């Protein structure tokens, strides 16, 4: 079984599917995750929120409006109400009938892919700490915790994950985070890795983040030119919407190394 520690070897290209295979399938659905897994991504990135009745579900937005046929805040809908929504038809008629997955359902899927890592993004919300308190024990019980890094744009949640749960975290540059604490014992000291958006990505920024002892990753290089640029900046892990360009580059590098 793979563990998250393997990412400290930055000599190999690592491809993470952003919300699954987001470019071709409805994001954060089991189908999007399955299609990314079948194509051989090294990692899945996904987003967690909590339903009104305290169930952790996989969805990006704080409302269901964009990615389902319903309306309203995720945390004001029960799991039963969320499960009645169509989470695929907005993307295309052939995907009608897909449902918002629970985190437990995603964990069940991952059991068949022991070498795939997980980037667990907890969305900033009043429920974020409660989500962390729920999912860390779930991951430990299912044998998945060693494969996980935890992400949040709220530096307070990064600190909570680091200090209370002792897990590895991925944050972002200070300007992109809320509640960021500067200084030697601040937010960067509680991060294991940093996610750099393509619009900010430079080799100088990668070097700066590495000087702080952080692994430097990026999101989202979705064509060959962007993939090549990201690699030229010194990044090895790429979180992508379209997994194919990065997977092709990974495959060509492996062939060249033989």
Best CA proximity match to 15, nearest among 27, 26, 7: 7
Phi first, then psi, for residue 41 (nearest 5°) are -60, 155
Distance of CA 109 to the CA centre of its chain: 16
What is the spatial distance between Cα 180 and Cα 108, in angstroms, rounded to a whole number?
Answer: 34
| Residue located via tokens 């563990």 | 3
- 60 labelled catalytic: yes
18, 162, 165, 182: the catalytic one is: 18
d(Cα 181, Cα 155) in Å, to the nearest integer? 7
**Contact present, 90 and 67 (Cβ < 8 Å):** yes
Q: Mention every residue, 6+ apart, whose C-beta is less than 8 A from residue 250.
A: 12, 13, 15
DSSP state of 23: T
CA–CA dist 226, 203 (Å, integer): 14
Active-site residue 182, yes or no? no
**Active centre residues (catalytic):** 18, 60
């Amino acid at each position: 079984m793979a563990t998250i520690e393997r990412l400290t070897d930055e000599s190999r290209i690592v491809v993470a599917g952003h919300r699954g295979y987001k470019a071709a399938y409805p994001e954060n659905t089991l189908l999007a995750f399955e299609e990314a897994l079948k194509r051989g991504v090294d990692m899945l990135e996904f987003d967690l929120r909590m339903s009104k009745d305290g169930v952790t579900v996989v969805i990006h937005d704080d409302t269901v409006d964009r990615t389902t046929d319903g309306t309203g805040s995720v945390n004001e809908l029960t799991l039963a109400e969320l499960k009645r929504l169509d989470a695929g038809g907005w993307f295309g008629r052939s995907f009608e009938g897909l449902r918002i997955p629970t985190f437990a359902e995603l964990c069940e899927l991952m059991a068949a892919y022991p070498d795939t890592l997980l980037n667990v993004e907890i969305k900033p919300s009043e429920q974020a700490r409660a989500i962390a308190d729920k999912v860390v024990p779930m991951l430990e019980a299912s044998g998945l915790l060693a494969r996980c890094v935890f992400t949040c744009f709220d530096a307070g949640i990064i600190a909570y994950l680091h200090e209370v749960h002792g897990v590895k975290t991925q944050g972002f540059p200070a300007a992109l985070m809320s509640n960021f604490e500067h200084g030697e014992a601040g937010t960067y000291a509680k991060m294991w890795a940093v996610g750099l958006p393509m619009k900010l990505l430079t080799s100088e920024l990668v070097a700066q983040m590495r000087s702080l002892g952080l692994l430097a990753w990026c999101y989202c290089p979705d064509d060959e030119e962007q993939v090549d640029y990201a690699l030229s900046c010194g990044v090895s892990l790429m979180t992508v919407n379209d997994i194919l360009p990065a997977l092709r580059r990974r495959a060509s590098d492996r062939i060249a190394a033989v």
